Structure 1
Amino acid sequence: MKITKVDVSVTSEPKRHPVRDAIQWLDRDGQVRVQIHTDAGVTGASSTYFGREQSSPMILATLIEQQLTPALIGDDPVLIRGIRAKLRRLTDYQGTAGLSTIGISAIDQALWDLQGKALGVPVWQLLGAQRMTIPTYAMVGWLELDVAGLERVSARAMEQGFRGVKVKVGGGPLSEDLQRVAAVRRVIGDDADLMVDANQAFDYAEALRRGRAYDDLGCRWLEEPLPADDTLGHIRLAEKLDLQIATGENRYGQQAFRDLIAGGGVGVVQPDLRRAGGVTDCHEIGLLAAGFNVSYASHGGGAHIHVLAALPNTIYVESGLLPDNSPITLTDGCYPLPDQPGLSGWND
């Protein structure tokens, strides 16, 4: 089987319901879709959410279409890691981390989708699944919501069967954070997990101060308390806090996680499927973390559920609320694994 053609398309439109975290509004939905065709008639596809700016998806699509995909033509799509190595060499001069990695991730996901479809099985079977269901929490606590709005969405998450909720923090003073977190705790009860996410908003001193306060409210973890690349800061912070540090969504490739994990700077590693490099790198990061007894929870859901199924240290898949027309219900706070061939996910 050989790759014969790669199609790349984009969409970019305003979000119907913009959301806000501590550092930004997320107000556009940009998507880049990649389709890899073969001489056997099997096609693999991926869809990558990318960019708040209208032009961002087109910039990524141009890199994929003009630089990456010409190197794929004639390759055997089974050789996923070989293709990854080739694309890393190709982009080394310009810097593989960043935009190039997101493009490589889009191709990686399409290749895994192609393998699953060629064999007629979901990708979690190819990776060697350890479980048939994945525990899930709801990321519902965006900062544009007032306290009453937070209470409503948190209650809805509990009604839908989620094991817990995550709340954004760091958009205002600590007193505001504590009011919002306490309100959610009252709604979800003492037994549900409650996570907080600062989106890199703090310096070390403020992260330490607020982390201790969040810990007093019984939070499960503090996510992205510091700038993503501050490995030493994360290690220092983890030494001072009992509250677990969760981070990783803004790191690029497996090597960016090595010193963070080995140094004890993360208690819950959270790669992003796009930035980490796709299914291949996320699976490798998860196994690296498992070797250090570090838990793994995805940033985002969708196709990431296949990786989560295959890791021994999985604790959570991130999700939004289930839509009214959802084809599934949660059982014991867990998503079932998808049964379609390829890389589909329930909450794509």
Structure 2
Amino acid sequence: MKITEIVEQTVSIGSPIRNAVIDFSAMTVSAVAVRTDHVVEGRPLVGYGFSSNGRYAQGGILRERIIPRLLAADPDALVDASGVLDPFKCWDTMVRNEKPGGHGERSVAVGTIDMALWDLAAKAEGVPLYRLLADRYRGVVADPAVEVYAAGGYYYPGEQETKLQDELKSYLDMGFTAVKMKIGGAPLKDDLRRIEAALAVTGGGDALAVDANARFDVATALAYARAMRPYGLRWYEEPVEVLDFAGLAEVAAAASMPIATGENIFSMVDSRNLVRYGGLDPAQDYLQMDPALSYGLVEYLRTLDMLASHGWSARRCVPHGGHQFGLHLAAGLGLMGNEAYPKVFEPFGRFAPDMTLANGKVTLTDHPGIGYEAIDEIYRILSTETLS
């Protein structure tokens, strides 16, 4: 199998919403198609990928560094013993001549291509990605369904509590049993009113998580933790700046609810520092590293190995991003679950039509690879006809 072309484009997922830190009116992602000379059923195999939401498109890095390295490489140096593109060998090529550290943007570009390479690897074997992963890394065991929660509850222009309640109720009506809302974009007293309005819909705190998007200093994060203590929330997400591990440890020690964090941690090494110094409890807290933002599945596998060596189960991992790639990883690698975005960042959070959501869990597609071809709204963007 040889790469014949890699094409990319920037795609808008802008929306008139905001969290505590940024608005998403100009949000973009990178979409890529990795074309090969490997023919199946009369057509060359193509792998598709895109970057996750929240970090903007990475077209410059992709075009100037990552894609040229793959195209310039000896094709024989990129394949495994069976002649299929090897994501690990391709990963080594993509990061060649990159200095250690500084993971914030190039990790997204590498993760975008990595997604497409794993799509190709599974397609070459004629199986869905979760089956490939279960066979290689989990003794063939795959979860038949993945637990998902609905992420939303953003700040909308002129938002009232009734609008938030209507949004969260719509998620429960879809079949979700847990939802997440934003905090930190309003004064504490206003956010508490919003949380109480949400609790009136969910019926209890175990079905409601809150996300501060790393907005707070330690004092403010502690004030929120104290104020939210009576609610018994599912988790308190990113209460302080993502690399302030000492601050996070202080909040985690004082909070009565689980802490969730990691979506803005982009490497195995930084993830290791998080679990070493962040004061998190592997029996209670949650890790949300997003493979599409953090150098892809190749690095995520290394991260899972590191976590296991520090006493963390994969069942404490719930990737950020709300994409079908994450669902495959959750089912194939035995993660706790995956985030979902039912109504924002369209269309990249959509499930395939043959996937069933019920009682907070979604079944996976049996389409080879990740299965983006089965989601018309996504495939129209990812298809080579659009990207070329």
TM-score when normalising by structure 1: 0.88
How does 1:133-172 map onto structure 2 within 5 Å?
Answer: 133-144=145-156, 145-172=159-186
Q: Secondary structure at the match of 1:11?
A: strand
Q: Does 1:8 align with 2:7?
A: yes
Q: Among the aligned pairs, what percent are the same residue?
A: 29
What is the CA-CA distance between 1:212 and the residue it aligns to?
2.4
What is the CA-CA distance between 1:60 and the residue it aligns to?
4.0
Deviations 1:135-164 (A, max 9, x none): 111112111132111100111111111011
After the TM superposition, which of the residue ranges 68-77 and 323-332 deviates more from structure 2? 323-332
Question: Quick one: which amino acid aligns to residue 5 of structure 2?
Answer: V
Q: Secondary structure at the match of 2:369?
A: coil
* Alpha-carbon distance change, 143 to 106 in structure 1, aligned in 2, over 3 angstroms: same
**Among 34, 47, 65, which residue is 1:44 paired with?**
47
Q: Secondary structure at the match of 1:304?
A: helix
**Among 317, 331, 336, which residue is 2:358 paired with?**
331
Q: Secondary structure at the match of 2:371?
A: coil
Asked if the contact 1:10–1:57 (Cα under 8 Å) also holds between the matched residues in 2, the reply is no
Q: Does 1:293 align with 2:312?
A: yes
What is the CA-CA distance between 1:49 and the residue it aligns to?
4.5
- Tell me which residue corresponds to 2:384: none
Asked if the contact 1:8–1:61 (Cα under 8 Å) also holds between the matched residues in 2, the reply is no
After the TM superposition, which of the residue ranges 296-305 and 25-34 deviates more from structure 2? 25-34
Q: Does 1:243 align with 2:242?
A: no
Q: Secondary structure at the match of 1:310?
A: helix
Deviations 1:230-288 (A, max 9, x none): 12222232222222111111111111101212345342000122221112222332343
* Alpha-carbon distance change, 171 to 317 in structure 1, aligned in 2, over 3 angstroms: same
Q: Secondary structure at the match of 2:275?
A: helix
After the TM superposition, which of the residue ranges 144-153 and 237-246 deviates more from structure 2? 237-246
Q: Does 1:179 align with 2:186?
A: no
What is the CA-CA distance between 1:65 and the residue it aligns to?
5.8
- Tell me which residue corresponds to 1:319: 340
Distance 1:191 1:210 in 2: 15
- Tell me which residue corresponds to 2:23: 25
Distance 1:255 1:185 in 2: 37
Asked if the contact 1:8–1:32 (Cα under 8 Å) also holds between the matched residues in 2, the reply is no
- Tell me which residue corresponds to 2:215: 201
* Alpha-carbon distance change, 245 to 168 in structure 1, aligned in 2, over 3 angstroms: same
Question: Quick one: which amino acid aligns to residue 169 of structure 1?
Answer: I
What is the CA-CA distance between 1:338 and the residue it aligns to?
1.9
* Alpha-carbon distance change, 51 to 236 in structure 1, aligned in 2, over 3 angstroms: closer
After the TM superposition, which of the residue ranges 275-284 and 72-81 deviates more from structure 2? 72-81
Q: Secondary structure at the match of 2:96?
A: helix
* Alpha-carbon distance change, 65 to 277 in structure 1, aligned in 2, over 3 angstroms: closer
What is the CA-CA distance between 1:191 and the residue it aligns to?
7.0
Deviations 1:161-180 (A, max 9, x none): 10111010001111111110
TM-score when normalising by structure 2: 0.80
What runs of 5+ residues in structure 2 fail to find an aligned partner? 40-44, 135-140, 344-349, 379-388
**Among 276, 283, 296, which residue is 1:278 paired with?**
296
Distance 1:224 1:192 in 2: 18
Asked if the contact 2:33–2:46 (Cα under 8 Å) also holds between the matched residues in 1, the reply is yes
How does 1:60-75 map onto structure 2 within 5 Å?
Answer: 60-63=61-64, 67-72=68-73, 74=75, 75=78
Asked if the contact 1:131–1:310 (Cα under 8 Å) also holds between the matched residues in 2, the reply is yes
Question: Quick one: which amino acid aligns to residue 8 of structure 2?
Answer: S
Deviations 1:84-108 (A, max 9, x none): 2333232227x56122211111121
* Alpha-carbon distance change, 319 to 197 in structure 1, aligned in 2, over 3 angstroms: same
Distance 1:284 1:133 in 2: 24
After the TM superposition, which of the residue ranges 58-67 and 181-190 deviates more from structure 2? 58-67
After the TM superposition, which of the residue ranges 233-242 and 173-182 deviates more from structure 2? 233-242
* Alpha-carbon distance change, 327 to 60 in structure 1, aligned in 2, over 3 angstroms: farther
- Tell me which residue corresponds to 2:121: 115
Distance 2:186 2:65 in 1: 39
What is the CA-CA distance between 1:52 and the residue it aligns to?
7.5
Q: How many residues align?
A: 342
Question: Quick one: which amino acid aligns to residue 303 of structure 2?
Answer: I
Distance 2:36 2:12 in 1: 31
What is the CA-CA distance between 1:57 and the residue it aligns to?
4.6
* Alpha-carbon distance change, 52 to 273 in structure 1, aligned in 2, over 3 angstroms: closer
What is the CA-CA distance between 1:133 and the residue it aligns to?
0.5
